[in-house]
């Protein structure tokens, strides 16, 4: 009982937030800020990450009444983030991505890292959602495979199989195209 009081479950906090408890929603924000932030770092250009992170939580706050509890709160929040990423790219499709100045001029290693991140980011966007999710869960969120399986409601064997197929799919996307 004291454990539950100290660390209420996501579903308990979500229920309270739906009932009008703002502190419960803020607790959910604190709990998932790092998760959402790292997801968006993987999917968006660096200059967009902070703004879209804020938009995700505001959107989650407004949509919490629609959270039915059928999926985990983490999964539901990931779907909100996915929609916000899609919105961002719809609104910014014409803006070319530019290398940050420090990466261009001063630090070749930073430039290489920026380029690698951009290649991975573009490849991720082309993956189906279930492949994208499992890669983000493992790398951006750092969840072990057992927790990934639990979160996705699949067996551990299925999670590892999906993971390998996701890695193969992103490898194909990252292949340079054309000669």
Partner 1 sequence: MTRNQRDTEIEKDERLAAYTDALLNSQAEPGGRISADLSAHPEEGQGEVEALAKVVKTLAQALSPHPPPDHLRLKIRRRVIAAWEQDRPAQKRRFLNLFRRPAQRWAWAAVAASVLIVAAVALLLPHIPLETSGTASGEVGVFALVAFVAMAVVLAVALFIGRRR
The angle formed by the CA atoms of residues 102, 88 and 51, to the nearest 5 degrees, is: 60
User: What's the closest the beta carbon of residue 58 comes to partner 1, in angstroms?
Assistant: 5
Residue among 1 and 152 whose Cβ is closer to partner 1: 152
If one asks whether residue 110 binds partner 1 (CB under 8 A), the answer comes out as no
Region binding partner 1 by CB under 8 A among candidate stretches 29-37, 67-75, 83-91, 92-100: 29-37
Using the minimum distance from each CB to partner 1, give the nearer residue, 83 or 117: 117
Could you tell me if 72 and 151 are in contact, meaning their C-beta atoms sit under 8 angstroms apart? yes
- Max distance between CA atoms of the chain, in angstroms, equals 63
Query: Which stretch in 8-16, 72-80, 101-109, 133-141 sits in contact with partner 1 by CB under 8 A?
Result: 133-141
Instruction: Give a three-class secondary structure readout of 32-100.
Output: HHHHHHHHHHHHCCHHHHHHHHHHHHHHHHHHHHHCCCCCCHHHHHHHHHHHHHHHHHHHCCCCCCCCC
User: Is 88 near partner 1 (CB under 8 A)?
Assistant: no
Number of neighbouring beta carbons within 10 Å of residue 26: 14
Nearest approach in angstroms of CB 65 to partner 1 is: 10
Q: Which residues bind partner 1 (CB under 8 A)?
A: 20, 22, 25-26, 29-30, 33-34, 37-38, 41-42, 50, 53-54, 57-58, 61-62, 113, 116-117, 119-121, 135-136, 138-142, 144-145, 157, 160-161, 163-164, 167-168, 170-171, 174
């Amino acid at each position: 009982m004291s454990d539950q009081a100290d660390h209420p479950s996501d579903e308990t906090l979500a229920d309270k937030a739906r009932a009008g408890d703002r502190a419960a929603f803020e607790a959910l924000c604190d709990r998932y800020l790092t998760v959402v932030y790292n997801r968006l770092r993987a999917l968006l250009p660096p200059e967009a990450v902070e703004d879209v992170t804020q938009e995700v939580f505001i959107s989650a706050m407004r949509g919490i009444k629609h959270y039915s509890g059928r999926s985990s709160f983490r999964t539901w929040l990931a779907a909100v983030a996915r929609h916000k990423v899609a919105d961002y790219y719809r609104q910014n499709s014409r803006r070319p991505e530019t290398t940050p100045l420090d990466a261009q001029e001063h630090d070749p290693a930073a430039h290489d890292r920026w380029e690698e991140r951009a290649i991975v980011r573009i490849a991720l966007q082309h993956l189906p959602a279930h492949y994208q999710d499992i890669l983000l869960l493992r790398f951006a969120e750092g969840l072990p495979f057992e927790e990934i399986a639990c979160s996705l409601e699949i067996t551990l064997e299925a999670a590892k199989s999906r993971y390998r197929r996701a890695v193969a799919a992103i490898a194909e996307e990252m292949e340079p195209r054309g000669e």
